[in-house]
């Protein structure tokens, strides 16, 4: 199975994950500073900033884009409960 | 006990129908709730609470900062009317959208339709959920603001500080630049109702202040520290929170207290380089206790790891919660009685919501007579609390043999190994996270 590395820069930890894993699944276990609310792409609580590897996450859905807009997301912000890891990336809490 | 009636004390500062001036042109327009005994299900309130809202008058209009719980709207509006007309209100600032501060908002917007709302960048979705605007009506007039943004009232300036997760994602503070007043929302607040209203006049509320922090702010310590970095440099004459006394006498003491409460004292003792594992157990016949001791011995072989061993029967839950907050890992042992872990174990596990458990490592073990479900149930709960459970739980049937005690030592070594594998810089495999 394809693997990818995700680094949580706030805690300086890197995890090697199967491609397709959602960021939320990793960040909770590793103790990154992201906080979660609804876990289904609605509340916007888990917004994260992608420092590197923006294109290595799955494309945001129309709903995720709406929630990001409502939460005044800046460029390269994503919801950790929605984004799936396809290749190497570096993220931190937004 | 019958709750107290809202009887004005002889030295009352907050009187019915009157706003209270706390700085030139700055009024308290909140409400007292002296009979409340439980707040939000989770907090005891021995003498009630207050819902503090404020008004700032400038040469160019009036700002209302936060509102009150819906049932207290009449008190709030009466106090507004004692110092301002609704058509003077240009600005409504919402530092936090929880219903105890926004209950009177719809009616305030109806009475002051010209006023514009100012909320934090993370509050939009919450505002829409709260007001449920209809699509065929005019859109809500609001502006989102972040740290450093300002809004002018002519000779007065409101500056915003983005302080998310204190204690909701939407929370912010508002600073009145010219008077040095920080409208801090729930930060520095407490559930304490006193008609004398000011910290240098009212009763001793230190307990209420610490208790509020422990239940509301404690799960977000990292965010508290981030917020303090924004707040500490401000020249401050008054901190005006949304609950409890207005902090005008030496307000900086309360900031110092927040810093103290948000700093781990344990790292001072063991040093930042050392990791900590706490082992708790309950034992009916001594078998789970013997397992705990062997696990402790095995884990202690790992250098750089401080291991502590506690019998849950011998202590209160609260200090144990403090221990877990400072620890990197928690191992919990329980026998199985009637197909379940024992109650003190569940009492401990149900008390952990007030601390940040993310990234902590959990492990479970226990002796059993004939069914042995407790270990798996504890592991499930640990996962539910977002802990990593990388080492499968260890069960021993009845009295552990020497070989089984050696398995316990190996289990302790495996937990210790998993703790050290989380060290910075190393790439961890997802499967290791458990």
Give the model confidence (pLDDT) of B348-371 as tens digits: 999 998 898 888 999 999 999 988
Q: Under an 8 A CB cutoff, do A29 and B433 touch?
A: yes
pLDDT, residue B271, reads 62
CA distance A36 to chain B (A): 10
- Are residues B61 and B89 in contact, defined by beta-carbon separation less than 8 angstroms? yes
Q: Under an 8 A CB cutoff, do B427 and A5 touch?
A: yes
Q: Which of B420, B430, B434 to mutate to test the interface with A (most CBs of A within 10 A)?
A: B430
* Residue B10: Cβ-neighbour burial (10 angstroms; 0-12, 13-18, 19+): exposed
Beta bridge partners of B307: B277
Residue ranges of chain A with per-residue pLDDT less than 50: none
pLDDT, residue B1, reads 43
What average pLDDT does the structure give for chain A?
92
Query: How many domains, chain A?
Result: 1
Model pLDDT for residues B52-89, shown as the tens digit of each residue: 999 999 999 999 999 999 999 999 999 999 999 999 99
Residue span(s) of chain B under CATH 3.40.50.360 come to 269-433
Q: What per-residue string of b and e applies to B148-183 under the rule 16 or more CB within 10 Å gives b?
A: ebebebeebbbbbbbbbbbbbbbbbbbbbebbebbb
Distance in angstroms (rounded) separating the CA atoms of residues A77 and A93: 9
Residue span(s) of chain B under CATH 3.60.15.10 come to 20-262
CA distance B80 to chain A (A): 32
B357: nearest Cα among B304, B391, B333, B321: B321
Residue ranges of chain B with per-residue pLDDT less than 50: 1-3
At the topology level of CATH, where does B20-262 sit?
Metallo-beta-lactamase; Chain A (3.60.15)
* Residue B138: Cβ-neighbour burial (10 angstroms; 0-12, 13-18, 19+): exposed
- A41 vs B: CB within 8 A: no
Q: What per-residue string of b and e applies to B261-271 under the rule 16 or more CB within 10 Å gives b?
A: ebeeeeeeeee
* Residue B142: Cβ-neighbour burial (10 angstroms; 0-12, 13-18, 19+): middle
Q: Which of B127, B169, B324 to mutate to test the interface with A (most CBs of A within 10 A)?
A: B169
pLDDT, residue B200, reads 96
Distance in angstroms (rounded) separating the CA atoms of residues B372 and B48: 46
Number of residues written out for chain A:
94
Tell me which residues of chain B have a C-beta less than 8 Å from any C-beta of chain A: 121-122, 124-125, 128, 144, 146, 165, 169, 220, 222, 358-360, 386, 388, 422, 424-430, 433-434
pTM of the predicted structure, to 2 decimals: 0.82
Distance in angstroms (rounded) separating the CA atoms of residues B233 and B387: 36
Contacts 24+ apart (CB under 8 A), B349-353: B349/B378, B349/B381, B349/B382, B349/B385, B351/B317, B351/B318, B351/B321, B352/B321, B352/B324, B352/B385, B353/B219
Residues of B in contact with A32 (CB under 8 A): 358-359
pLDDT, residue B426, reads 72
What angle is formed at CA B346 by the lines to CA B341 and CA B352, rounded to 5 degrees?
145
What residues have CB less than 8 Å from B210, skipping those under 6 apart?
Answer: B257, B261
pLDDT, residue B424, reads 62
Q: Which of B143, B144, B225, B359 to mutate to test the interface with A (most CBs of A within 10 A)?
A: B359
What residues have CB less than 8 Å from B326, skipping those under 6 apart?
Answer: B264, B265, B266, B267, B276
At the topology level of CATH, where does B269-433 sit?
Rossmann fold (3.40.50)
pLDDT, residue B21, reads 97
Token digits for B4? Answer: 């107290």
Question: Domain limits at A83?
Answer: 3-93
Q: Where are the alpha helices (DSSP H) in B263-356?
A: 266-270, 287-300, 317-326, 343-349
What CATH number does residue A61 fall under?
3.10.20.30
Q: β-strand B89-93 against B116-120: which pairing, if any? A: parallel
pLDDT, residue B137, reads 75
Dihedral sign of CA atoms B201, B202, B206, B208 in order: negative
Bond preceding residue B167 cis, omega within 30 of 0:
yes
A78: nearest Cα among A52, A90, A60: A60
Distance in angstroms (rounded) separating the CA atoms of residues B215 and B210: 9
What residues have CB less than 8 Å from B359, skipping those under 6 apart?
Answer: A11, A28, A29, A30, A31, A32, B388, B422
- Are residues B121 and A45 in contact, defined by beta-carbon separation less than 8 angstroms? no
- Are residues B331 and B409 in contact, defined by beta-carbon separation less than 8 angstroms? no
Q: How many CB atoms lie within 10 A of CB B415?
A: 27
Question: With left for phi above 0 and alpha for psi between -120 and 50, is residue B61 left, alpha or beta?
Answer: left
């Amino acid at each position: 199975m394809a693997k990818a590395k995700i680094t949580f820069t706030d805690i300086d930890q890197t995890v090697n994950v199967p491609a397709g894993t959602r960021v939320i699944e990793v960040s909770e276990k590793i103790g990154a500073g992201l906080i979660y609310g609804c876990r289904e792409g609605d509340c916007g609580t888990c917004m994260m900033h992608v420092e590197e590897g923006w294109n290595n996450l799955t494309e945001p859905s129309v709903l995720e884009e709406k929630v990001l807009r409502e939460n005044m997301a800046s460029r390269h912000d994503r919801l950790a409960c929605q984004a799936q890891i396809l290749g190497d990336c570096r993220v931190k809490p937004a | 006990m019958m709750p107290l009636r809202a009887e004005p004390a002889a030295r009352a500062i907050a009187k019915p129908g009157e706003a209270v001036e706390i700085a030139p042109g700055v009024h308290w327009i909140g409400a007292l709730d002296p009979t409340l005994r439980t707040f939000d299900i989770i907090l005891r309130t021995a003498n009630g609470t207050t819902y503090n809202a404020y008004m700032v008058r400038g040469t160019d209009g009036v700002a209302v900062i936060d509102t009150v719980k819906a049932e207290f709207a009449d008190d709030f509006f009466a106090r507004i009317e004692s110092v301002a007309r609704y058509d003077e209100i240009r600005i409504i600032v919402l530092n936090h959208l929880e219903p105890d501060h926004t209950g009177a908002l719809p009616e305030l917007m109806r009475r002051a339709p010209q006023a514009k709302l100012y909320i934090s960048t993370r509050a939009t979705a919450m505002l829409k959920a709260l007001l449920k605007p209809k699509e065929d009506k005019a859109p809500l007039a609001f502006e989102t603001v972040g740290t450093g943004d300002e809004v002018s009232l002519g000779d007065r300036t409101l500056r915003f500080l983005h302080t998310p997760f204190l204690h909701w994602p939407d929370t912010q503070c508002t600073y009145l630049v010219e008077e040095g007043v920080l409208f801090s929302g729930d930060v520095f607040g407490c559930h304490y109702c006193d008609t004398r209203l000011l910290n240098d006049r009212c009763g001793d509320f230190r307990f209420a202040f610490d208790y509020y922090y422990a239940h509301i702010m404690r799960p977000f310590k990292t965010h508290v520290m981030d917020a303090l970095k924004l707040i500490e440099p401000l020249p401050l004459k008054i901190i005006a929170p949304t609950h409890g006394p207005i902090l005008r006498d030496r307000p900086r003491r309360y900031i110092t207290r927040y810093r103290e409460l948000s700093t781990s004292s344990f790292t001072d003792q063991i040093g930042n380089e050392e990791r900590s594992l706490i082992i708790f157990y309950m034992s009916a016949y001594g078998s789970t206790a013997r397992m705990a001791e062997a696990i402790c011995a095995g884990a202690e072989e790992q250098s750089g790891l401080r291991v502590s061993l506690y019998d849950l029967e011998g202590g209160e839950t609260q200090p144990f919660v403090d221990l877990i907050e400072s620890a990197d890992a928690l191992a919990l042992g329980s026998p199985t009685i009637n197909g379940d872990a024992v109650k003190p174990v569940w009492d401990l596990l149900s008390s952990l919501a007030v601390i940040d458990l993310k990234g902590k490592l959990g492990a479970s073990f226990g002796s059993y007579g004939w069914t042995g479900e407790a270990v798996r149930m504890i592991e499930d709960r640990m996962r539910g609390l977002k802990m990593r459970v990388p080492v499968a739980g260890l069960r021993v049937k009845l009295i552990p043999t020497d070989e089984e005690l050696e398995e316990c030592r190996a289990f302790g070594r495996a937990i210790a190994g998993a703790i050290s594998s989380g060290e910075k810089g190393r790439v961890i495999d997802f499967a290791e996270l458990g």
